[in-house]
C-alpha cells in the first residue's frame, strides 16, 4: 500500500477511534467499537485486494454518522465529499426500531453505490463472524435473523468483487454450521 494511502487510512482510523472512544460493541463484553471498523477495512484490503482511497476511508468511518456526533459536513471537509457521501449511504436511521432498520437495509440495498455495496457486504460478513464467535447475549433466533437479513441484503449488492462475495459466502456457510452444532447440542453460545 502506498505510504500516502496508508497515512490517510490511519488518519481515518484515529478519527474513528476518537469519535467511538467510549463505545463498545453491544453485548461483546467491552470490546472497543473501533475493532469492528478496523476489521472491515482490513478485509477489504487483504481479502478483496481493494486499494481505492475513498472506499477504504469510508470503511473505517462507516458507522461514525450513525453512532457519534460527527456530521456529514465534518467528514466532507476532512476526508472529502465522496467519502462522506458513501458513509451517509451506509448510515441507518437509529431513531427507527431495530427490525425496521434491518428491513430498510434490504429494501434500499439496490440503491447503494458500488463502493458502499462493498463496505456493506464486508460489514455484514464481519458482523456474522463476530456474532457467531464471541459470547453474545442474543438468542439463537436473533442470530439466525441477522444471518438471514445479511443474506437478503447481499443478494442485492453482490458482484463488485468476486473475492469479497466468496468471503461473504464462506462466513454464511460457517455460521450455518455453527447454528447446526448449537442446535444439536442445545446451546446458544460457543464454548
Provide the annotated active-site residues. Answer: 66-67
Cα–Cα separations (whole angstroms), residue 174 to 125, 128, 132: 11, 9, 9
Instruction: Give dist(CA 109, CA 101) in Å, integer.
Output: 12
Tell me the residue length of the chain: 191
> Which phi-psi region, left, alpha or beta, contains residue 67 (left: φ > 0; alpha: ψ -120 to 50)?
alpha
Handedness of CA 60, 66, 70, 76 (dihedral sign): positive
Residue of 84, 189, 65 lying closest to 136 (CA atoms): 189
Q: Which three cell numbers stand for residue 144?
A: 439466525
Amino acid at each position: 500500500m502506498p505510504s500516502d494511502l496508508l497515512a490517510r487510512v490511519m488518519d481515518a482510523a484515529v478519527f474513528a477511534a476518537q469519535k467511538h472512544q467510549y463505545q463498545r460493541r453491544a453485548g461483546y463484553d467491552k470490546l472497543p467499537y473501533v475493532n469492528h471498523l478496523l476489521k472491515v477495512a482490513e478485509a477489504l484490503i487483504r481479502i478483496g485486494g481493494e486499494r481505492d482511497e475513498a472506499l477504504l476511508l469510508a470503511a473505517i468511518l462507516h458507522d461514525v454518522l450513525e453512532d457519534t456526533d460527527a456530521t456529514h459536513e465534518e467528514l466532507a471537509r476532512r476526508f472529502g465529499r465522496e467519502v462522506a457521501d458513501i458513509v451517509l449511504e451506509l448510515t441507518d436511521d437509529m431513531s427507527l426500531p431495530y427490525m425496521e432498520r434491518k428491513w430498510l437495509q434490504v429494501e434500499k440495498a439496490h440503491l447503494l453505490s458500488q463502493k458502499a455495496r462493498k463496505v456493506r457486504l464486508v460489514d455484514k460478513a464481519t458482523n456474522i463472524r463476530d456474532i457467531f464467535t464471541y459470547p453474545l447475549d442474543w438468542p439463537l433466533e436473533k442470530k439466525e435473523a441477522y444471518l438471514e437479513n445479511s443474506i437478503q441484503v447481499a443478494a442485492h449488492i453482490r458482484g463488485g468483487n468476486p473475492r469479497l462475495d466468496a468471503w461473504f459466502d464462506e462466513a454464511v456457510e460457517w455460521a450455518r454450521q455453527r447454528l447446526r452444532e448449537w442446535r444439536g447440542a442445545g446451546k446458544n453460545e460457543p464454548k
